[in-house]
Structure formats: structure tokens, C-alpha cells
Amino acid sequence: MCETAIQSLGGIGFTWEHRLHRLYKRALGIESFGASGTRLRAEIAASLIELEKASSESPAPVTVTQGG
């Protein structure tokens, strides 16, 4: 939303004098702070699920002993 406003305002939207500059920086900070935890949890969950699938698909190692 802020990026669209900056595009429509042109250069004045990204100057220190305009309020939109502060709002844009705040929105980027909130987005990176709020999304990173969710994104990381999703990536960890996906990798754990893939690891579980990979371990269940491969057969368990069989030990071979010489009988007698």
C-alpha cells in the first residue's frame, strides 16, 4: 500500500519532509518482524515433514550376520 502511494506521489513521497517516508519505513519494519517468525516456522515444519517422509520411505538398515 505504501509503495503504491510513493509511486503515485513521485519523489516527494520518499523525502524526509513527507510523512509517507516514515510510514513506509514503519510498514517495512513491521512486515519483516511479523512475517519472519511465521515464515521460519513454516519452513521448519515443511523440512520436518519432508524428513519424516524420507525416513519412512527408505527401508530400515538390515544387519547381516553369518549364522552357524
The predicted pLDDT at position 36 comes to 64
Q: How much is the mean pLDDT over the chain?
A: 75
If DSSP codes are grouped into helix, strand and coil, which group holds residue 66? coil
42 pLDDT above the threshold of 80: yes
Residue with cell 515443511: 46
pTM over 0.95: no
Confidence of residue 24 (pLDDT cuts 50, 70, 90): confident
Distance CA 12, CA 19 (A): 10
CA-based nearest residue to 27, from 61, 51, 59, 3: 3
The predicted pLDDT at position 44 comes to 86
DSSP 52: H
